[in-house]
Structure 1
Amino acid sequence: MDGATGRYTCDELVERSGADAGFVDRLLELGVLAPAEDGTFGPGDVQRVRLVEACDRAGLRAEAIAEAIGAGRLHLGFMDSPQYRWSELRTETFGELADRLGIPFEVIRQSGAVLVNRHLTPEDRTREDDEAIFTIIGLVATMADLDALVRIGRVYVDGLRRVAEAESELFQTYIIGGLMQAGTTYGEALAQSAAMGAQMTPLMEQMVLTLYRRQQERGWTEGIVEGIERALETSDSQAMSTRPPAFVFIDLAGYTALTEEQGDAAGARLAREMNAMVERIVADHAGTPVKWLGDGVMIRFQHAGQAVRATLAMVAAAPAIGLPAHAGVAAGPVVMQDGDYFGRAVNLASRIAGAATAGQTLVTGAVVELADDPGLRFREVGPLDLKGFADRVGVFEARAAG
């Protein structure tokens, strides 16, 4: 029967799952797989073959799985749910795909190591969704070098891996775990959570796409505005002064000692409350968290004055969550790469944050000049020797006026 109808012959099941024909026969004999009345199989059977084969390779023998199914302790019927429609294997190889798309195989090989987590050869068979991945890679490869493609691919994969892991934790720990605490068996909880997942998965996928587009809008718009500013700076009719961004590093003072004394759970609670506090205050001052650092965070602001005001508010709010904070603010041109920022201003903000005492916010001279805010006061604390900087750096303590 034609696989395009959604029903597969046994040979097509073997082909689409990538499993050995003997292993599929073994699953049929064990009763893990059962064909329909017409002798065909469905997409869920492809996923079942893959799952049980992976378990079998890991030492969870197919015979033991079959025994658990027969005893009613395990059910794999949930894999017929629509959220388990992961892509299947095709007969086309990566070498053939490269030729058809007009892409050097080396582009597929190097980018594939990151994007599909495999060291590909021209003889390896593609999956149904590989064409979508490598078509765009081929287009971008004509305008960007391969190293840049690999780096941005790593950012995509790492970010989405964290999303997928968080989803798995939600289902395994809280949904399935909650059902089991209520008295259901693991197999029953798995089946019930699969029914819930069938409803939630399309919504979660749409949510991820929506959140991505929101961040895309923010990042792209900022880049476009900066491009317009550069164009106006070189215009004969109008010149604009450059306003470099400001960067903040803020950390909780005494976090390591508290964690050692009270345990990891207390440390995790503090980090969560720190994150919530930072997100609230940063949003009020048009800032963007760049990366979370356990007990601290790196934040970007377009304007130095907003950066200082937000940082003072965060340092003032920190004791209420359990520990004081210390922070550093620097401003200047930076290079953005792979969703992160690099440059002297970033390094300065990190170093002076480390030099600040509990409850203190230190800033560079550039921040003082750029802040232009009558509600702020700056007291010179003198040039400091900072690791990684040949010359001493002029540093000021920031405070709110009055």
Structure 2
Amino acid sequence: MEAAPRPREVSAELSQGLENLLLGEAPTLTRNDVVEQAGIDLGTASALWRLLGFPTVPEEAVAFTPMDVEALRASAELMRLGIVSIESQAALVRTLARSFARLAEWQTRLLAEIRIQNDATDAEHLALVEQALPKIEAFQDYVWRRHLASASAGLMTSEASAASGELLAIGFVDIVGYTSQSKKLDQGELIAWIESFEAAVTEVVVDHGGQVIKTIGDEALFVTTDPRSAAEIALVLTARGRDENDEFPAVRAGIAYGNVVRRLGDVFGPTVNIASRLTSVARPGTVVADRGVHEVLCRDHAPEETRADDLVLRRIPNVSVKGYGKFDCWVVRRAKG
């Protein structure tokens, strides 16, 4: 059996070469140079740098390029145009920083793995990155614009509706026995397992017209415009988890319907909290819904067991949910026959 290639050490030359390539050129400016050229006060620039999650560098360090100057100018221009207010700037920048930091870490690991597999020299690796970088950048821009177009079509609402929120169905899908299962896997296996879970959930959610808001390790949060779609997504995923021939893990789900506030790609409000709490009520392989879902699916009926087309909703009375006391919820199942 042929041994796997041993990774080459990352030399100072390769590290510096990658930095120069990614920043567009070698750093030539200090922090004060950037502030002076951008025409922004040092306090504002430093605050923006911290919000972006970038490491603090000594005042005299030559660590910046004209790209940093242009970024500060663009930030100031967005505020001047009213696109980004002083109040919203911090939250927006933090959200951008978290998203791109995660993306950058994944892309860096991918390039590092390719370098190891190819047993590439420093020059060969730099050439590969230089060739791939414009394509990655263009693809990221394309994905962003497509998501922006999709979000704009659905979220260009009035100030009143934006303030009060919008009616959405919220779903949480949680892996059963995640802690015990994760202990049996090495780092690579655990990453592959989680990525497979995220990919499967995203595929089902998108196929049913929903949107994955975020995944947090063993849990995924998604939204749909109607409870029926949310129930269908949850039922498909829990059914896959019960199938011993399917590699998808066993899961449980909680869904709720009501007013939700969207902000910077996330969702907030009691409806979100209730859906999350209901995952702890759900048994492995089951879906539990709140009254909002029941009222839409079953309208004016509230017996112990209610049919909604091909679904059956069985009431669980007086469930105690942390932060909300006792309330009724329903187990959602497909009707037999």
> Do the aligned residues in 2 keep the contact of 1:378 with 1:396 (CA within 8 Å)?
yes
The reply to whether residue 107 of structure 1 matches residue 44 of structure 2 is: yes
1:7-156 equivalences under 5 Å are: 85-86=24-25, 88-90=27-29, 93-97=33-37, 100=39, 105-115=42-52, 117=54, 127-142=65-80, 143=82, 145-156=85-96
Does structure 2 retain, via aligned residues, the 8 Å contact 1:273–1:321? no
Instruction: State whether structure 2 residue 154 is matched by structure 1 residue 222.
Output: yes
User: Residue 335 of structure 2 corresponds to which residue in structure 1?
Assistant: 401
Q: 1:121 to 1:266 in 2, by over 3 A?
A: closer
Larger Rg: 1
**Range 352-361 or range 120-129, more displaced:** 120-129
Could you tell me which runs of 5 or more consecutive residues in structure 1 were left unpaired when the two chains were aligned. Answer: 1-59, 66-73, 181-187, 232-241
With over 3 angstroms needed to count, the CA separation of the structure-2 counterparts of 1:178 and 1:216, relative to structure 1, is same
Matched position secondary structure for 1:89: coil
User: For residues 19 and 190 of structure 2, what CA distance do their matches in structure 1 show?
Assistant: 41
Give RMSD over aligned pairs: 3.3
Rate the CA distance shift 1:362–1:87 in 2: closer, same or farther, 3 A: farther
Amino acid at match of 1:305: R
Q: Which has the higher contact order (CA 8 A, sep 6+)?
A: 2
* Separation (CA, whole Å) in 1 of partners of 2:153 and 2:54: 32
- Residues 350, 275 of structure 1: alpha-carbon distance in 2 compared, 3 angstrom cutoff: same
Asked whether the equivalents of residues 251 and 326 of structure 1 are also in contact (C-alpha less than 8 Å), the reply is yes
Choose which of 224, 242, 258 in structure 2 pairs with 1:301.
224
Q: Distance in 2 between matches of 1:78 and 1:177?
A: 18
Partners of 2:224 and 2:15 in 1: CA distance: 50
Match of 1:157 among 97, 110, 113: 97
Q: Alpha carbons of 1:116 and 1:158: their partners in 2 closer, same or farther (altered >3 Å)?
A: closer
Distance 1:145 1:270, change over 3 A: same
Structure 2: runs of 5+ lacking an equivalent:
1-9, 299-307
Normalising by structure 1, we get a TM-score of: 0.67
- Name the SS of the counterpart of 2:152 in structure 1: helix
SS of residue matched to 2:229 = helix
Q: What residue number does 2:205 align with?
A: 282
Number of aligned residue pairs: 309
Q: Percent identity?
A: 21
Instruction: Tell me the SS of whatever aligns to 2:321.
Output: coil
Specify the alignment match of 1:363 in structure 2. 289
1:189 CA displacement: 2.6
Corresponding residue SS for 2:183: helix
Please say which of residues 259-268 and 105-114 is displaced more in the overlay.
259-268
Structure 1 contact 87–128 (Cα < 8 Å) conserved:
no
Worse-superposed segment, 136-145 or 344-353: 136-145
1:196 aligned partner: 128
Q: Are residues 1:346 and 2:276 paired?
A: no
Higher helix proportion = 1
Q: Secondary structure at the match of 1:382?
A: strand
Partner of 2:326: 392
Shift, 1:162, TM fit: 1.8
Post-superposition offset of 1:106: 3.7
Q: Which structure: greater strand fraction?
A: 2
Question: Is 1:381 equivalent to 2:313 in the alignment?
Answer: no
Displacement after TM superposition at 1:245 (Å): 0.6
Distance in structure 1 (CA, Å) of the matches to 2:320 and 2:332 = 19
Q: Which amino acid aligns with 1:350?
A: S
SS in 2 for 1:321: coil
Q: CA deviation at 1:249?
A: 0.7
